[in-house]
Amino acid sequence: MTGFIFPIARGARWEKQEGQKGKARKGGRAGGKVWVFCFWFPVFFLAVFTPAGQGQTAAKSDWSSLEPPPGAVDTNSFRADLGLTNVPPGESANFASLIAPDGTNTVASDLAMAAYYKRTSQPEKAEPILVGLLASNYPDSVQKAALMALADVVRGENDLPRAQSIYAQFLERWPDDPTIPEVLLRQGEIFRQMGLTDSALGKFYSVMASAIDLKSDQFGYYQKLVLQTQVEIAETHYLMGHYVDAADFYKRLLANSDPTLNRPQMQFRLVRSLTIIRQYDEAASQAQDFLSRYADAPEVPEVRYYLAQALKALGRDDEALEQVILCLKQTKAQTSADPQLWLYWQQRVGNEIANQLYRKGDYTRALEIYTDLAQLDSTPAWQIPVYYQMGLSYEKLLQPQKAVDAYNQILARETQVGTNASPGMQAVFDMAQWRINFLKWQTNAQAVDQSLAAAAAAAAANFKTNSTQ
């Protein structure tokens, strides 16, 4: 394919007639989220290879080194490794029948070898193989597959601008190709990874527009592509903090019955978005539905937090308290999958709701939560502030002796902390001691007042008796 320009390995310049160098880098997904997406390419792959993971070819060897011998390649799995998993209808070719100019290697084995190097984190070896395919006089079907595979390898190297450049070359070279909507989708994903969210949304909406022009025999491809694009649009709005738009897209997605959707993730993000935009009625309803459907999901403690917040905002304090207690009483068996995550949300849920109840003057229920919170973590950094809140609650409930007992539990930890006490913790120790002294003075003052009152009452009674004699 003369006159074709393509970027090659990082730090090198490769030329074919007109020279052009492209640089790019692929980074992690925004918010730490990893998306699995099936890409669609010409149907000739299906004529030669079985789906990835459905058995091995007879020629496959048990490689003992990183360098497999020529021909000992896994042609069943290379398509998935190179991002060439699914195909739209319309094209066909037999890669196995295409022999390289030197008459030694087939296209299939070259792609499989490139996939092996990508899978074993050797992109510097995968790229020359794909570049060789692009530099050969193979038909467009091979050139397209090799270029897309090269872009996928480059993304695997975290070279986002360079990968973007390769996809742009595909669009320029084959603007009417059936895979154009998917190329646009990948470009949108890369833009979002680069933090260019507005550009990402532009690409995603271009996918929707271009997919409309697909032929009727590509309807299944259209459906899956549009669904994945809707997910990406929702995620982009969510990551941008556009929670109103995100909630709207998540609700539409949840109305779709496609089994490939990550429904727990969609509904969890919908609950969070609704809570943030203060649509508490719907947030509470979606949170309760999530808890009933996905009781073992890792997001359960956070969903209970949003549910408790929504119920509290709606004035349904008893139900909010019930959610807090359920969260705090969670058994160790249920929290064993990620105990630190559960502990964080148990502490956050309980502390925020208890403080709200205390500020509202509901000291009895606030004290109930503080008592449970104290059992979650035995470290001084956690228990000392909780005991202090318990002491204040007992004071409000006119139980000074129990308040003193709570403050004494704080002072008992002072020697344990020793010189490692932070300024904030030391301030709590000082306040606890001050509260104890104050309560003792108050108790003594009340005793004196009661004694004086009793003496005054006795004197008045004597005076009345004497005056009547």
Average pLDDT estimate for 461-468: 67
Question: Where is mean pLDDT largest: 23-37, 49-63, 244-258, 428-442?
Answer: 244-258
Which is higher by pLDDT, 8 or 131? 131
Which of 218-227, 307-316, 371-380 shows the lowest per-residue confidence on average (mean pLDDT)? Answer: 218-227
pLDDT of residue 10: 34
Q: What is the pLDDT of residues 230-283, one digit of tens each?
A: 999 999 999 999 999 999 999 999 999 888 899 999 999 999 999 999 999 999
pLDDT at 273 (0 to 100): 96
Stretch 128-155: mean pLDDT: 83
pLDDT band for 344, please (50, 70, 90 cuts).
Answer: confident
Model confidence at 191: pLDDT above 50: yes
**pLDDT higher than 60, residue 40:** no
360, pLDDT greater than 50? yes
Percent of the chain surpassing pLDDT 70: 70
> Which pLDDT score is estimated for 352?
80
Q: What is the pLDDT of residue 145?
A: 83
Instruction: Name the least confident of 50-64, 66-80, 354-368, 400-414.
Output: 50-64
Window from 17-21, 136-140, 168-172 with minimum mean pLDDT: 17-21
Give which of 63, 85, 84, 82 is closest to 72, Cα–Cα. 63
pLDDT tens digit sequence for 48-65: 233 333 333 323 222 223
Highest mean pLDDT out of 214-223, 434-443, 456-465: 434-443
Mean pLDDT of 385-391: 91
| pTM for the predicted model, two decimal places | 0.59
Least confident of 9-18, 129-138, 317-326, 437-446: 9-18
pLDDT digits (tens, 9 = 90+) for 287-337: 999 999 998 888 888 898 899 889 989 989 889 888 888 777 765 445 555
Tens digit of pLDDT for each residue in 155-184?
888 889 999 999 999 999 888 888 888 899
Q: What is the pLDDT of residue 407?
A: 92
- Which of these, 111, 60, 61, lies nearest to 84 by C-alpha position? 111
